[in-house]
């Protein structure tokens, strides 16, 4: 990496997309998940004892067996996570009652206008929201990166006692005590047994949310009404923020950690196991990753509807994750709100993209030199001077080979390294804006703008037509209009993060919308099975 890079070390980690894998002290062993299917006993202590017996038969020592175990799954299903060598894993797999033995794998987290857009108007007398009493006393479990308990979205003013059927607990820790739970956040647990130490540095060792992802998802599902909010108090998307089931109760399960929001299978299974026993009605997981998480089938068998994010790797083909038939898998769509930015070209043509360039001090009435950087990779930029200029990046032929997020970060890193002043970036969807806000305003003072490939083609055509192409980027505005989609809203969704509110995009944000609808349907039809609820939503 160029030692003159303008990025701080933390941003460099994001830009080069480092994948951090678990490193354990004993290189000959690793964490395995031993799944044993339906539990054979109602008493959790008896189930746990059976896990110890199975491990003892392999280790030859009960003491060593007890040391190896990380989690024991004993409420909704039977199994455990333990540190094993490959030969020990093979031996366990041969034991009667063992369904599978698999190495622990890791998942990534995929996050207010959207509820009005879906037709769930808070004051509409005939709406599902009103019939469901706003989700009154339905318990929604959210497995994610934790919760920011002081957010106004989780104020418990006007709530009655915690439902008597609730069996969960409020687990304390750093910056999270018993008063962090209330009549809205009725339970909170945290799981870090399979997370590498390097990902826990700087984290809250408690249910408190560091990244904001879990808080954003939870407030989208069950957040109460909060008036006069906007994206980072900038005035964009100003109005009232609320969740889809604002009177539902929240149970928090923090199984995802670190700046990249990494979640291990072993912790996810422990959270699902506890959630089943605690008494949640709905389980929401805004997580990506491939393969079945076996605990979800047991949750559904006990009447809990499980809602997963479908992943953010599109338009890469065959990239949908969590597509097992017993859960609801959610894709992300846009809503009818946009943030248009006018780009004035030197030939007096005005084109429109989208951005979050709301800070007036970042804008100038002056034109800037425009350069077509094409793919904005090393080859494309090698012979072009882009210092102090606005760069157009467009690679439609390569779009199907990488996700929009990774392609954007790579292009951003390339143009900032060469000290460009601004970026016009083309992709299939010009609506996913939160990446722009996170990095562009810090490193590209003239602005970043997203455009589709048609607009990019027109800009490139102009750039080729003259030796000195220029562009002026205007300040963004907020526009609302009609244009419904079929999938759940997941682009530029405003919800709680810390004590503020900000946009996030992706199936992580679409998943909570469906989770809230499930909570409302559960309130109106408490006897409906997860399959019936899924069928009603598909209609």
What's the CA angle centered on 201, arms 198 and 202, to 5 degrees? Answer: 155
Pairing verdict, β 69-73 and 185-190: unpaired
DSSP of 138-161, one letter per residue?
-EEEEEES-B-TTSGGG--TT--P
Residue-wise burial string across 410-444, b where 16 or more C-beta atoms lie within 10 A, e elsewhere: bbbbbbbbbebbbbbbbbebbbbbbbbbebbbebb
Selecting among 116, 144, 274, 278, the annotated active-site residue is: 144
Nearest-angstrom CA–CA distance, 56 and 246: 48
* Known active-site residue 213: yes
Nearest-angstrom CA–CA distance, 238 and 233: 8
Nearest-angstrom CA–CA distance, 427 and 411: 12
CA atoms within 13 A on the CB side of 128: 19
CA dihedral in degrees (500, 505, 508, 514; nearest 10)? 90
Nearest-angstrom CA–CA distance, 154 and 50: 40
Selecting among 213, 231, 368, 513, the annotated active-site residue is: 213
3-class DSSP assignment, residue 170: strand
E strands in 428-539: 447-451, 470-473, 479-480, 488-489, 493-497, 500-504
Alpha helices in 125-222 (DSSP H): 128-131, 197-200, 213-222
Q: Which two tokens stand for residue 199?
A: 């990902």
Selecting among 508, 513, 515, 523, the annotated active-site residue is: 508
282, 141 in Cβ contact below 8 A?
Answer: yes
* Known active-site residue 508: yes
User: Residue 82 pairs with which residues in a beta bridge?
Assistant: 32, 69
Q: Work out the burial of residue 491: count CB atoms within 10 Å of its CB; fewer than 13 is exposed, 13-18 middle, 19 or more buried.
A: buried
3-class DSSP assignment, residue 277: helix
E strands in 368-486: 368-372, 390-393, 422-426, 447-451, 470-473, 479-480
Q: Work out the burial of residue 87: count CB atoms within 10 Å of its CB; fewer than 13 is exposed, 13-18 middle, 19 or more buried.
A: exposed
Catalytic residue numbers read 144, 213, 508
């Amino acid at each position: 990496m160029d030692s003159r890079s303008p990025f701080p070390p933390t941003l460099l980690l994001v830009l080069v997309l480092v994948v951090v894998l678990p490193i354990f002290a004993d290189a000959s062993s690793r964490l395995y998940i031993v799944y044993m299917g339906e539990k054979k006993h109602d008493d959790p202590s008896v189930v746990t004892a059976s896990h110890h017996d199975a491990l003892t038969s392999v280790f030859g020592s009960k003491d060593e067996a007890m040391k190896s175990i990380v989690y024991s799954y004993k409420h909704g299903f039977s199994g455990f996570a333990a540190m094993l060598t490959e030969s020990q894993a093979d031996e366990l797999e041969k034991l009667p009652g063992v369904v599978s033995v698999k190495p622990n794998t890791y998942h990534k987290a995929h996050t207010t206008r959207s509820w009005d857009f879906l037709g769930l108007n808070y004051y509409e007398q005939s709406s599902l929201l009103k019939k469901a009493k706003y989700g009154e006393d339905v318990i929604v479990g959210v497995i994610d990166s934790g919760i920011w308990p002081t957010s106004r979205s989780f104020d418990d003013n006007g709530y009655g006692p915690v439902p008597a059927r609730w069996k969960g607990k409020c687990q304390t820790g750093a910056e999270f005590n018993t008063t962090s739970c209330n009549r809205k956040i009725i339970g909170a647990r945290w799981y870090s047994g399979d997370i590498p130490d390097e990902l826990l540095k700087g984290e809250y060792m408690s249910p408190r949310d560091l990244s904001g992802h879990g808080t954003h998802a939870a407030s989208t599902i069950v957040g109460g009404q909060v008036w006069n909010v906007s994206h980072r108090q900038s005035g964009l998307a100003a109005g009232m923020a609320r969740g889809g089931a604002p009177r539902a109760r929240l149970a928090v399960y923090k199984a995802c950690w670190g700046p990249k929001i990494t979640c291990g299978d072993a912790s996810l299974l422990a959270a699902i196991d506890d959630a089943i026993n605690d008494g949640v009605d709905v389980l929401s997981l805004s997580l990506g990753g491939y393969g079945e998480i076996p605990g979800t089938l047991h949750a559904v068998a006990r009447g809990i509807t499980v809602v997963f994010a479908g992943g953010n790797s599109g338009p890469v083909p065959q990239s949908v994750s969590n597509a097992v038939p017993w859960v609801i898998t959610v894709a992300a769509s846009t809503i009818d709100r946009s943030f248009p930015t006018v780009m004035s070209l030197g030939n007096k043509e005005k084109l429109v993209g989208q951005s979050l360039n709301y800070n007036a001090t970042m804008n100038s009435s002056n034109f800037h030199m425009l350069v077509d950087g094409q793919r904005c990779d090393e080859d494309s930029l090698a012979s072009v001077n882009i210092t102090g200029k606005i760069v157009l990046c467009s690679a439609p032929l390569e779009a199907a080979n990488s996700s929009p997020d990774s392609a954007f970060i790579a292009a951003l890193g390339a143009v900032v390294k060469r000290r460009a002043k601004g970026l016009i970036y083309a992709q299939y969807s010009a609506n996913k804006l939160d990446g722009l806000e996170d990095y562009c305003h810090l490193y590209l003072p003239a602005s970043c703008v997203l455009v589709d490939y048609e607009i990019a083609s027109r800009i490139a055509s102009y750039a080729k037509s003259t030796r000195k192409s220029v562009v002026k980027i205007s300040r963004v505005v907020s526009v609302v209009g009609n244009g419904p989609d079929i999938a759940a809203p997941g682009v530029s969704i405003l919800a709680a993060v810390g004590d503020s509110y900000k946009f996030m995009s992706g199936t992580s944000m679409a998943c909570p919308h469906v989770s809230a609808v499930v909570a409302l349907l559960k309130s109106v039809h408490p006897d409906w099975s997860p399959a019936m609820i899924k069928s009603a939503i598909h209609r």
